[in-house]
């Protein structure tokens, strides 16, 4: 089978790291491990320059028709003054919203070779491998009312509303339990049922969904305690499922445990349709890094790791994904370092040399 893959390189270092993914795709094909039908389109600032908006209807239709989407990064100072509705990030937000990508998967992996770059001590993070599953389309970022009103005395009142329904919690819980089955079989669910009604419902629904997964263990943890535990003893977690707001914060905490932003991939998944497939977008956690764009400094590992997630979660090519992940681990163990992860006084390699080294491994 050949899979239809849409590449949206975007802006800044996006096209630079995507070029390395294209090389890896070529290598996978040459090895007979995976075959893709590749399409390419524009998103973000590059689409604004070409079409006057950050995502055209044609690009969206292409994304809808693809089996999976790989996105580089969007944004940069060049588009700082465009109207809010058509800023580069609006293209990415529209993709997420229109494709219904409600589940954000953010692995936090600490490679042994890089453990000294972590914010924590080596023994706390070496071999760390957490998967944070963040609900992405509900909760307080989207709930209504959402407004700032002026009170009679002239001061103001701001309102954000946290809303979750049973169905929204059920589907994200299923994503977490299904993932845990393929990993160590442990799920921790973070909420604040002690002070939030949405937390009460979250805990109740996750517990109910868990009944279908007797082979997976479930632990409930209060989100503030979870933040503390992530810094105190992060390896106690495997799959961590949580809502949009707590997931935003906890995944940034987890990111700092791993070393560099240039190493972290992510996936955003939609609902499973009648044919058993689901929409999916894979992208590095980092942005377009305008400070290093065009210099060959960018670390392509987050982007290549995003391809590995795509192989694993969209195409069921677990073996090819394992090979790619272990090639990255071995490349790092061999001492290859881009500038962001190189020790002081050592000579880093370029974006393209890192891609080549991974392909060799």
**Residues between 49 and 78 that touch ligand NAI (CB under 6 A):** 73-76
Q: Which two tokens stand for residue 227?
A: 């933040």
Determine whether the annotation assigns residue 84 to a binding site.
yes
Piece in contact with ligand NAI (CB under 6 A), picked from 100-108, 139-147, 195-203, 280-288 = 280-288
Q: Is-catalytic flag, 252?
A: yes
Tell me the β-bridge partners of 4: 37
The listed partner (Mg ion, ligand NAI, none) that binds 248, CB under 5 to 8 Å by sort, is Mg ion
Q: Which of 46, 189, 288, 306 binds ligand NAI (CB under 6 A)?
A: 288
Neighbouring CB atoms inside 10 A of 65's CB total 10
248 binds Mg ion (CB under 5 A): yes
Binding to ligand NAI by CB under 6 A, coded x per residue (else -) over 292-331, reads: x-----xx--x-----------------------------
The DSSP letter of residue 349 is P
Piece in contact with Mg ion (CB under 5 A), picked from 42-50, 135-143, 243-251, 261-269 = 243-251
The listed partner (ligand NAI, Mg ion, none) that binds 312, CB under 5 to 8 Å by sort, is none
Looking at 160, 178, 224, 356, which residue is catalytic? Answer: 224
C-alpha span between 16 and 296 (Å, rounded): 8
Q: Where are the beta strands (DSSP E) in 11-155?
A: 35-40, 68-73, 103-109, 129-135, 143-150
Per-residue H/E/C for 216-283 = CEEEEEEHHHHHHHHHHCHHHCCEEEECHHHHHHHHHHHHHCCCCHHHCEEEEEEEECCCCCEEEEEE
Determine whether the annotation assigns residue 224 to a binding site.
yes
The radius of gyration computed from the CA coordinates of the chain, to the nearest angstrom, equals 21
Give the residues lining the site for ligand NAI (CB under 6 A).
13, 17, 73-76, 89, 92, 261-262, 283, 286-292, 298-299, 302, 340
Q: Which residues are catalytic?
A: 141, 192, 224, 248, 252
């Amino acid at each position: 089978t050949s899979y239809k893959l849409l590449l949206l390189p975007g802006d800044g270092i996006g096209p630079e790291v995507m070029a390395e993914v294209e090389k890896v795709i070529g290598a996978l094909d040459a090895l007979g491990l995976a075959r893709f039908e590749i399409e390419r389109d524009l998103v973000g600032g590059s689409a604004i320059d070409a079409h006057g908006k950050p995502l055209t209807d044609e690009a969206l239709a292409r994304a809808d028709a693809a089996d999976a989407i790989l996105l580089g990064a969007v944004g940069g100072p060049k588009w700082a003054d465009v109207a809010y509705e058509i800023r580069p990030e609006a293209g990415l937000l529209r993709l997420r919203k229109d494709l219904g990508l409600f589940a954000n998967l953010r692995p936090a992996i600490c490679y042994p070779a890089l453990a000294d770059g972590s914010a924590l001590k080596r023994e706390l993070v070496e071999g760390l491998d957490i998967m944070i599953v963040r609900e992405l389309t509900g909760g307080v970022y989207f709930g209504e009312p959402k407004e700032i009103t002026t009170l009679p005395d002239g001061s103001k009142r701001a309102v954000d509303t946290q809303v979750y329904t049973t169905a929204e919690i059920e589907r994200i819980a299923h994503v977490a339990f299904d993932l845990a089955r393929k990993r160590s079989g442990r799920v921790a669910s973070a909420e604040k049922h002690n002070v939030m009604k949405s937390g009460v419902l979250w805990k109740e629904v996750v517990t109910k969904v868990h009944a279908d997964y007797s082979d997976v263990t479930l632990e409930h943890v209060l989100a503030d305690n979870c933040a503390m535990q992530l810094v105190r003893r992060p390896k106690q977690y495997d799959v961590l499922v949580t809502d949009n707001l707590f997931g935003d914060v906890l995944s940034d905490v987890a990111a700092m445990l791993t070393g560099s932003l240039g190493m972290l991939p992510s996936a955003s998944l939609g609902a499973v349709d009648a044919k058993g497939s689901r929409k999916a977008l894979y992208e590095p956690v980092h942005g377009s890094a305008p400070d290093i764009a065009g210099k060959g400094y960018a670390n392509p590992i987050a982007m290549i790791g995003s391809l590995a997630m795509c192989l694993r979660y969209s195409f069921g090519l677990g073996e090819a994904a394992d090979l790619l992940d272990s090639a990255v681990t071995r490349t790092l163990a061999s001492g290859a370092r881009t500038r962001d992860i190189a020790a002081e006084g050592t000579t880093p390699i370029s974006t393209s040399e890192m891609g080549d080294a991974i392909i060799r491994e």
